[in-house]
Amino acid sequence: MTAKTWWSKLFASNTSQPAFSQNPSATVIASQGAVVQIDKLGKEFQEGEIQRTVLQNVTLRFDSGEFVVLLGHSGSGKSTLLNLISGIDKPSSGTVRINDLAITELDERSRTLFRRDYIGFVFQFFNLIPTLTVLENVTLPQELAGRSSTVAQQSALHLLERVGLADRIHTYPDKLSGGQQQRVAIARALAHDPALILADEPTGNLDEETGQRVLQILLDLTRNTGKTLIMATHNPEIAQLADRVLRVQDGHLTRVIVHPDALEEVVV
Ligand X SMILES: Nc1ncnc2c1ncn2[C@@H]1O[C@H](COP(=O)(O)OP(=O)(O)OP(=O)(O)O)[C@@H](O)[C@H]1O
Helix (H) or strand (E) run with residue 143 in it: helix 134-144
Q: What CA–CA distance (Å, rounded) separates 175 from 136?
A: 15
Residue 79 binds Mg ion (CB under 5 A): yes
> Which one-letter DSSP state was computed for residue 18?
P
Cβ atoms of 197 and 62 within 8 Å: the answer is no
Partner from Mg ion, ligand X, none binding residue 65, C-beta < 5-8 Å depending on class = none
Residue 47 binds ligand X (CB under 6 A): yes
Q: Which is nearer to ligand X, 71 or 169 (CB)?
A: 71
Query: What mask, x for binding ligand X by CB under 6 A, covers residues 65 to 104?
Result: -------x-xxxxxxx------------------------
Counted residue by residue, the chain has a size of 268
Count CB neighbours of 176 within 10 A. 18
Sole window of 47-55, 112-120, 141-149, 182-190 interacting with ligand X (rule: CB under 6 A): 47-55
Cβ atoms of 60 and 252 within 8 Å: the answer is no
Q: Shortest gap between Cβ of 118 and ligand X (angstroms)?
A: 22
Q: In the range 160-219, which residues lie near ligand X by CB under 6 A? A: none
Q: Count the residues of the shown chain that bind Mg ion, applying the rule CB under 5 A.
A: 2
Q: Shortest gap between Cβ of 210 and ligand X (angstroms)?
A: 20
Q: Shortest gap between Cβ of 55 and Mg ion (angstroms)?
A: 13
User: What's the alpha-carbon Rg for the chain, to the nearest Å?
Assistant: 18
> Which one-letter DSSP state was computed for residue 156?
H
Q: In the range 111-150, which residues lie near ligand X by CB under 6 A? A: 124
Residue 54 binds ligand X (CB under 6 A): yes
Q: In the range 192-251, which residues lie near Mg ion by CB under 5 A? A: none
Q: Which is nearer to Mg ion, 165 or 242 (CB)?
A: 242
Q: For 234-238, which contacts have Cβ atoms below 8 Å and span 24 or more sequence positions?
A: 234/71, 234/74, 234/201, 234/204, 234/268, 235/203, 235/268, 236/71, 236/263, 236/266, 236/268, 238/69, 238/203
| Interface ranges with ligand X (CB under 6 A) | 45, 47, 52, 54, 72, 74-80, 124
Give me the residues that bind Mg ion (CB under 5 A), please: 79, 124
